[in-house]
Structure 1
């Protein structure tokens, strides 16, 4: 594990601390660069297909392959890391991503489906391994802070991708070249970390679905956030326009949600280090419910709806940060790697379920439908997490013993 590797790197406590910082920094930089490449390629590939004359239906089907790849590959990643070695698997995933991006431009459309699957599988592997790496390297008493920093830096990477596309345009070869270069650069911090990259040794003590019952609040947080975030980002601009906002104002709603995400994760992580994590998840879920439920009543006042969506974006994203923090506190070794795989898999399930239900609701009830779907997801989860916290033994829940 990372901790043992750090301890072997030097005998002095300050050297061990430097090794831990070096390991965490390498993992965060690696996955944040991949996140930047992902946020750049998602809209870029759609625009490339549209320029070829491919219909929206086929573009959507090709994009959906990414979700299928995440569902299939994420639960297999721990076993692959154990078989091939963590570092080697990261390098293989980076190489596969670069090759797929190089082949997409000249490839016929039918070949985009297997290429998109391999590309998405590679990105999924990088996310699962990197989050396992960060969790394993983080000290117990500062894991929430580390996860908050990770979420913040990752959000910045996601924000930069579309900006690059806006500057150069989809007709230029520059964005695709930058995406390939970003994938290659992700290997640099891995090499910098060297022996500090964690190994997955031994087999997990829990089967994949058993982890869902061992830590349901933490794992289900990924599903709820995945469904809410994907629904919000897919339909928020359309919802704003149907609520009477101009197109430019409606587009800013997504920006405000992203800003709330970036600015709130470190404070939420600090709270998670000091408070009961299940209770913190319940509070994040409750704010996600309240924010979504308030949207229809605030859409007529731009500054008010911006405020609501800003806080919604921050508190909703707290589910991801605190959920990962709780997994790191609960599991270690192969169990942690498997739990991170389940976490990413449930996030992918949420991304598939949320927009489907949200789109139907938006059609049936333009102003209230989509926010109510999101509020329902978060409300049910908040109630579940609060009950889990309340029924836990007093010492585990953080409540005083009566």
Structure 2
């Protein structure tokens, strides 16, 4: 233990003199990556449990759909508001202490929903919960990306996104098991945030250090410097959230029962889980900008193929799974692309820009697909997705022709 402490101190002392990650052993990197993935995946379970829980809780107390929607949107507002400042906060407090703080805020906010009655108070609570999630995703993804070996960075990010997708899929199942008519789901969700602190306790000094960013190198700087990667986050946020909202409605319009239609979202998640590691491996073997372009093109034609599947449930599930898994690669490959281009505080700030753009996508996606759905029911939703993917493909094609 004493030797480990001395090693941590030595690393901190040498940070200003050399690459702060130069003396991280392969074992240190494996431990650090595993810790960060475990931590953020547990938070993902809590996140996916909380979204339907809070929506049903508000509805049962008579809240309107507009009220529920506005409250849910506060999470995205929080991310956009605080993400640009997270690297500076972590540089001052340290990565691990900042993550502990985020977990404490998240657990306290969830318990607040259980015990605080006035609806107006749920808006600052939702904002606080969004702050917690923003810190968790910005710093966890920075941690994973910073420690990932260059030769297998895509594989590591594929494993991370796969684990996160499994976690996001587990939340609703847990909610179905514990029910929504007691304190149990709130205590379970808060408990997940507490349990997520466990891996951090064993992280030792495997968290990558952060220094203060250079003046002028903020989120806007990296939005301009890495437009394809950050646009990937926006497009994926918009398409994923919009598809989750409108795929079940699309299925119902085709004549499916509500349960059968809802399984279209499950099919999309299955594709996410199955394809991220293969896409990550592929990204380690080719120009990631070209792979992002290929994903954009496949996403465009895949969206057009959804109506062509007709009302055959097995065929539609297959198309949605394959299409959804490929489109999810926007997140996986773009993160690996950022990790290959940037390091240290630049990487943390670039990841903050990535998370901000993803949040903008969450906000923009459902209205865009909703307009399409209203203009051309039910095919307008996949048509709107095709437009988004086509725009992304055009931008990616332009950037592929530019210097790296």
TM-score w.r.t. length of structure 2: 0.92
Give the Cα separation in 1 of the matches to 2:346 and 2:248. 40
Which contiguous aligned blocks of 4+ residues in structure 1 show a shift greater than 3 angstroms?
4-9
Q: Is 2:172 the counterpart of 1:196?
A: no
Aligned to 1:317: 328
1:231-285 superposed Cα distances (whole Å, 9 cap, x missing partner): 0001110111112222222111111000000000000000000110000101111
Q: Give the match for residue 128 of structure 1.
A: 138
Task: For residue 8 of structure 1, report the CA deviation from its aligned partner.
Answer: 5.0
Q: In the TM superposition, what is the alpha-carbon distance from 1:290 to its structure 2 partner?
A: 1.1
Map 1:244-255; keep pairs closer than 5 Å.
244-255=255-266
Q: Tell me what 1:287 maps to.
A: 298
Q: Do the aligned partners of 2:289 and 2:396 also contact (CA within 8 Å) in 1? A: yes
Deviation at 1:76, TM superposition (A): 1.4
Q: Displacement of 1:206 after TM fit?
A: 2.4
Tell me whether 1:165 sits opposite 2:175 in the alignment: yes
Q: Is contact 2:114–2:183 with CA below 8 Å preserved after alignment? A: no
**Structure 1 partner of 2:17:** none
For the 8 Å contact 1:222–1:343, the answer to whether it is kept is: yes
C-alpha contact (below 8 Å) 2:248/2:265 kept by paired residues = yes
Q: Which residue, out of 243, 261, 269, partners 1:232?
A: 243
CA contact (8 A) 1:6 1:196 kept: no
Q: Are 1:358 and 2:358 matched, yes or no?
A: no
User: Residues 202-241 of structure 1: CA distance to partner in whole angstroms, max 9, x if unpaired?
Assistant: 3146232121221111111000100100000011101111
Counterpart-to-counterpart distance in 1, 2:276 and 2:329: 6
Task: Name the residue aligned to 1:36.
Answer: 45
Q: Is contact 1:6-1:20 (8 Å) kept?
A: no
Q: 1:400 maps to what in 2? A: none
Q: Residue 367 of structure 2: SS of its match in structure 1? A: helix
Query: Does the residue aligned with 2:105 lie in a helix, a strand or coil?
Result: helix
Deviation at 1:197, TM superposition (A): 1.1
Q: How many residues align?
A: 387
CA distance in 2, matches of 1:189, 1:7: 23
Q: What residue number does 1:399 align with?
A: none
State the distance in 2 between where 1:142 and 1:7 align: 28
Please list the CA deviations of residues 88-123 of structure 1 after superposition, one character each: whole Å capped at 9, or x if unmatched: 111111111111111111212111111110111111
Q: Which residue of 2 aligns with 1:75?
A: 84
State the SS of the aligned residue for 1:194: coil
SS in 1 for 2:208: coil
Q: Is the 8 A contact 1:208 1:338 kept in 2?
A: yes
Corresponding residue of 1:303: 314
Distance (Å, rounded) in 2 between the aligned partners of 1:5 and 1:203: 23
Other-structure match for 1:268: 279
| In structure 1, distance between residues paired with 2:120 and 2:259 | 36
Alignment of 1:382-393 (within 5 A): 382-389=393-400, 391-393=401-403
Task: Say if 1:282 and 1:382, in contact at 8 Å, map to a contact too.
Answer: yes
CA contact (8 A) 2:105 2:132 kept: yes
2:64 to 55, 58, 68: 55
Note the C-alpha offset of 1:38.
Answer: 0.3
**Kept after mapping to 1: 8 A contact 2:275/2:325:** yes
Structure 2: any 5+ residue segments left out of the alignment?
A: 1-6, 13-21
- TM-score under structure 1 length normalisation: 0.93
Equivalent-residue separation in structure 2 for 1:252 and 1:270 (angstroms)? 28
Using the TM superposition, name which of 279-288 and 238-247 deviates more. 238-247
Sort the Cα spacing of 1:353 and 1:6 in 2 relative to 1 into closer, same or farther, 3 A: farther
Q: Report Cα offsets for 1:136-164 as digits up to 9, x if no partner.
A: 01011110000000000000100110001
Give the Cα–Cα distance (whole angstroms) in 1 for the partners of residues 113 and 27 of structure 2. Answer: 41
Query: Could you tell me which residue of structure 2 aligns to residue 215 of structure 1?
Result: 226
Residues 382 and 103 of structure 1: CA distance in aligned 2, closer, same or farther (over 3 Å): same
Aligned-pair CA distance for 1:168: 2.0
What is the CA-CA distance between 1:199 and the residue it aligns to? 2.0
RMSD over aligned Cα, in angstroms? 1.9
Deviation at 1:367, TM superposition (A): 2.0
Of 152, 158, 161, the residue aligned with 1:148 is 158
Q: Is the 8 A contact 2:84 2:218 kept in 1?
A: no
Residue 390 (structure 2) aligned to one of 358, 379, 393? 379
* Higher deviation after alignment, 48-57 or 59-68: 48-57
